[in-house]
Amino acid sequence: MEANNSTAPVKGHAPVKSNVSGVKNAFLVIIACFVVAVCAFLFFFGAPSHFSGYEGDVPASMWFYDGEYHPEDLIGTIFKGGVIVPILQTLFLTVIVLSVERYIALKSAKGTGNITKFVAAVKEKLTKNDINGALDLCKKQKGSVAAVVSAALIRYEEMDKNTVLTKEQKVQTLQKEVEEATAMEMPTLQQNLPIVATLTTLGTLVGLLGTVIGMIKSFQALSASGAPDSTALSTGISEALVNTAFGIATGAFAVISYNYYTNKIDNLTYAIDEIGYSIVQTFQATH
């Protein structure tokens, strides 16, 4: 009885490993993006070549310059956006890096061939009761779908040779195997997407914070006694608009990325559900 109920793979067949690549620690990505953003803000956007009006010795970055200076191009204007800009750039870079990471991960999860053709080929093998042929297809396809299907097919063979369980129990065992194998793959597919989803709101809110700070500076310049300080006024407006632009860009890109990859995951899940249902139905029809 113990031998018939064993959960070990049938001899001669090993389950396919999905081997989905991906970044396990997104915190390190955020730290790296922050370092890059700060360096770019100080030494690229803050480079003296993008400004005029300064006097005397000019440091490597206008951040350390005490005198008055005026941006000559858009890059210099971005630098005038203030300290919120590198934070927004960090969020924007994080979205880009995690989006690329998810693209690579889901591409490996898809496997080596077309998912639709793979599902059709496996279903064709099942109609012929060619389990070994279906397993060979899984080994060639690889990826998350093939990993779930191979686990279900191995369990299929076990139930086929089991003489203790009833047909209903065997079907339930097959269904449970598909569900468990799918549950094992889902975390790797959805990894880092919650962070991207968070950045859709966080990027907009941080951009709004920068906008409010810039407007406060603008109104302070207007409220000064005598003629308004045009330099302070322009700096405040630049800070408000630059932060608004970066916040909107970050939020928009994060929304697009999140929805795109969520749809990709849904397609993989649908393929898993379809082939899992076919395996169970084939077992019911042939036993």
Q: What percentage of residues in the chain have a pLDDT greater than 70?
A: 92
Identify the domain containing residue 114 by its residue range: 84-286
108, part of any domain: yes
197 inside domain: yes
Question: 205 CB contacts (<8 Å, ≥6 apart)?
Answer: 247
The 10 Å CB-count burial string (b at 16+, else e) for 55-69 is: eeebeebbeebeeeb
The first and second tokens of residue 77, run together, are 């204007």
Beta strands in the chain (DSSP E): 51-52, 70-71
Determine, yes or no, domain membership for 103.
yes
**pLDDT tens digits for range 11-70:** 456 777 777 777 888 899 999 999 999 999 999 999 999 988 888 778 888 888 887 788
Of the pLDDT bands very low, low, confident and very high (cuts 50, 70, 90), residue 165 is confident
User: 255-264, pLDDT tens digit by residue?
Assistant: 999 999 999 9
8 domain residue, yes or no? no
Which DSSP category does 43 fall into?
Answer: I
Rg (CA), the chain: 29
What is the pTM assigned to this prediction?
0.85
* Distance, C-alpha 69 to centroid of its chain: 40
**Dihedral class, residue 46 (left if φ above 0, else alpha if ψ from -120 to 50, else beta):** alpha
Spatial distance between the Cα atoms of 98 and 95, rounded to a whole number of angstroms: 5
> Considering the chain, what is the average pLDDT of its residues?
86
Q: Does 64 fall in a domain?
A: no
Q: What is the pLDDT of residues 61-114, one digit of tens each?
A: 888 888 778 888 889 889 988 899 999 999 999 999 999 999 999 988 888 888
- Looking at the domain assignment, is residue 1 inside a domain? no
Instruction: Match 């690889």 to its residue by tokens.
Output: 142
Specify the pLDDT at position 287: 73
* 239 token code pair: 């800070």
Give pLDDT, residue 227.
58
In a domain, 39, yes or no: no
pLDDT band, residue 229 (cuts 50/70/90)? low
DSSP H or E stretch at residue 205: helix 193-223
Domain count, the chain: 1
Per-residue pLDDT, 6: 39
User: Quick check: is 13 in a domain?
Assistant: no
User: How many contiguous H segments (helices) and E segments (strands) does the chain have?
Assistant: 9, 2
Q: Which residues are 207's β-sheet partners?
A: none
Longest Cα pair distance anywhere in the chain, in angstroms?
96
